[in-house]
Amino acid sequence: MPARAIHEAPLEVPLSYPVYCHAGSLNSLGAIVEATARAHRYAVISDETVAGLFADRVRTALPGESRLFTIPPGEHEKTRSRWAELTDALFSWEAGRDTTVIALGGGVIGDLAGFVAATFMRGIPVVQVPTTLLSMVDAAVGGKTAVDTPFGKNLVGAFHDPSAVIMDPDLLITLPPEQIRSGLAEMIKHGVIADASYFDAMLQLLPSVAAHGARADDLARLIAGSVRIKAAVVAEDSREGGLRQVLNFGHTIGHAIERELHYSIAHGEAVAMGMIVEAEIAEALGLATPGLSGTIADAVRRAGLPVQIPAALSNVAIIASTHGDKKSRAGTARYALPRTIGEMEAAEGRWSVPVDDATVERALSARVR
């Protein structure tokens, strides 16, 4: 059989695996998988909603036998028990090291299916096929895989690079507006941490997204821009020992808010609130340009995301949750903090700063509805 054709070149990013990001990229899935992760069998892991939309198309394109494994949608499904169920299902199917996992879905599926691939028989290939804006610009690139625990989000996991990432912006047309807005939070974050011109381009895009959603002009180009920013950071620090911590801007507070709200809000909404609070912290410590939190809050507001924390949430509970963050040391939460748009505090190469609870409490109080 002649080799299948890959119709588009991957993005130019400093990673060991190709990242495809073009309208219609899914049409090349079979050829990309054949070139990067050919296997005897393919385990397509998805959630029930996404599977109903895209699983048949993906399975038809795969160059070999496949089986679909689904879970209900939602962050509350990203658990150790779901991981165990999926790995047991792979064993029952008699999957082996000649099996490739296809992670078809949003960030929950990317994290969970990636962790299944990282741990099954000590590691099998995974191809990430993100289907949400958030997962395209964040979870699918970088090799982080994990599940949540009662003690916090993403606390049990592994670094496991995909064999390839296939992003097709055309898939975003199926998303409801709130899912598009959730992804915009991570894109705003990328501008804050690394690129002021990208931040400005995001601001220019927001009215078009509000009017046209996933059909907005330049959305695909800006997705690629976000991927390039994240890839450059990951290439410098693949295991989050230093620079990669800047990608956690907004996430120390954001993850705590998610946990305290029992994952009832979108990840991007939590990150949006987290970015504003953490910029307030940076200003309070004298690290950030005065007014930076207001600039970020304006971008968040224009994206249709929340700028204030619900009053029902306890500051004490949020702060307690931050102590379990992966960046915490000796019981003190550390924060990746911005200095200005496009620049983060290096903290002498540590890229995160210990912050006392009183400072965090004052910043939270400034952002309570």
CATH number for the domain including 128? 3.40.50.1970
Indicate the SS3 state at residue 239.
Answer: coil
Three-point CA angle 301, 255, 328, nearest 5°: 125
What's the mean pLDDT when you consider all of the chain?
A: 95
Q: What is the CATH number of the domain that holds 218?
A: 1.20.1090.10
Residue 12 belongs to a domain: no
Indicate the SS3 state at residue 156.
Answer: strand
Structure token pair of residue 325: 């963050």
Residue 7 belongs to a domain: no
Give the confidence band of 1 by pLDDT, cuts at 50, 70, 90: very low
Residue 23 belongs to a domain: yes
3-state helix, strand, coil in the chain (%, to 5): 50, 15, 30
pLDDT tens for 229-271 read: 999 999 999 998 899 999 999 999 999 999 999 999 999 999 9
Amino acid 213: pLDDT: 87
pLDDT tens for 11-65 read: 999 999 999 999 999 999 999 999 999 999 999 999 999 999 999 999 999 999 9
- Nearest CA to 126 among 84, 166, 72? 166
Same domain (yes/no): 180, 62? no
* CB-CB neighbours of 276 under 10 Å: 30
Same domain (yes/no): 184, 234? yes
Give the whole-angstrom CA distance, residue 264 versus residue 247.
Answer: 23
Residue 162 has pLDDT above 90, yes or no: yes
Same domain (yes/no): 300, 346? yes
Amino acid 114: pLDDT: 98
Residue 309 belongs to a domain: yes
Same domain (yes/no): 347, 227? yes
Same domain (yes/no): 197, 228? yes
Q: Which residues are catalytic?
A: 122, 144, 186, 230, 240, 244, 248, 251, 255, 267
pLDDT tens for 93-132 read: 999 999 999 999 999 999 999 999 999 999 999 999 999 9
In the 8-state DSSP scheme, what is residue 93? T
* Residues 279/345, Cβ–Cβ less than 8 Å: no
Domain limit, last residue, from 111, 139, 173? 173
Range of the domain at 169: 19-173
Q: What percent of the chain has pLDDT over 70?
A: 99
Same domain (yes/no): 249, 301? yes
Domain limit, last residue, from 127, 143, 173? 173
Indicate the SS3 state at residue 102.
Answer: strand
- Domain count for the chain, please give it: 2
Amino acid 308: pLDDT: 94
* Residues 42/65, Cβ–Cβ less than 8 Å: yes
Rounded mean pLDDT of 276-285?
A: 98
Give the confidence band of 212 by pLDDT, cuts at 50, 70, 90: confident
Same domain (yes/no): 34, 137? yes
Same domain (yes/no): 340, 208? yes
Residue 157 has pLDDT above 60, yes or no: yes
Same domain (yes/no): 184, 129? no
